[in-house]
């Protein structure tokens, strides 16, 4: 049985340091509001501070017009995010003075592939209906069969 993908945000600093927020795919609000998916207890955090859009291979982070913004922490220092920004596994973001660690195993794979220049197909384009999926499988299968036949003919002639 395949292990389910665990995506989470861990509070590194603040009054709730160590608290982990498990996330599913979709949209999640970070803020002071009790209805926020990731509720942070700090007066420097807006009621609806930021939006996390969780995908299979990355998270997109968007400031929702907060007063203090969102900062991406790096070795060189913190950078204020100007607009929607993709962040991956291990990214540390600062929201109103609270550091949050992104845990996204799917982004580890995506990051490794992009660092080493691996070209792979990671998604089937379309609505996932039988017709689209069949074509996605059938084309590589036919090309492989044609290549094998060509090699067979060359070996037989040769």
Q: Which residues of 36-48 are buried (b: 16+ CB within 10 A; e: fewer)?
A: bbbbbebebbbeb
> Exposure of 80 by Cβ count < 10 A (0-12 exposed, 13-18 middle, 19+ buried)?
exposed
pLDDT tens across 10-33, in order? 999 999 999 999 999 999 999 999
Widest Cα–Cα separation across the chain: 79
Question: pTM surpassing 0.85?
Answer: no
Residue 60's nearest CA partner among 94, 26, 37 is: 26
Rg (CA), the chain: 22
- pLDDT value of position 4: 56
In this predicted model, what pLDDT tens digit does every residue of 40-93 receive, in sequence order? 999 999 999 999 999 887 899 999 999 999 999 988 889 999 899 999 889 999
8-state DSSP, 15 = T
Local structure of residue 57 (DSSP, 8 states): S
């Amino acid at each position: 049985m395949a292990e389910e993908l665990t995506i989470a945000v861990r509070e590194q600093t603040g009054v709730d340091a160590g608290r982990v927020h498990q996330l599913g795919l979709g949209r999640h609000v970070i803020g002071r509001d009790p209805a926020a998916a990731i509720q942070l207890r700090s007066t420097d955090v807006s009621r609806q501070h930021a939006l996390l859009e969780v995908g299979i291979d990355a998270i997109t982070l968007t400031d929702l017009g907060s007063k203090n913004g969102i900062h991406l922490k790096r070795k060189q220092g913190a950078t204020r995010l100007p607009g929607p920004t993709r962040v991956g596994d291990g990214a540390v973001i600062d929201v109103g003075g609270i550091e949050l660690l992104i845990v996204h195993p799917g982004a580890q794979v995506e990051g490794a592939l992009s660092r080493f220049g691996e070209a792979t197909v990671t998604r089937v384009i379309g609505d996932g209906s039988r017709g689209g999926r069949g074509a996605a499988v059938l084309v590589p299968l036919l090309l492989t069969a044609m290549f094998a036949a060509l090699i067979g003919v060359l070996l037989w002639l040769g």
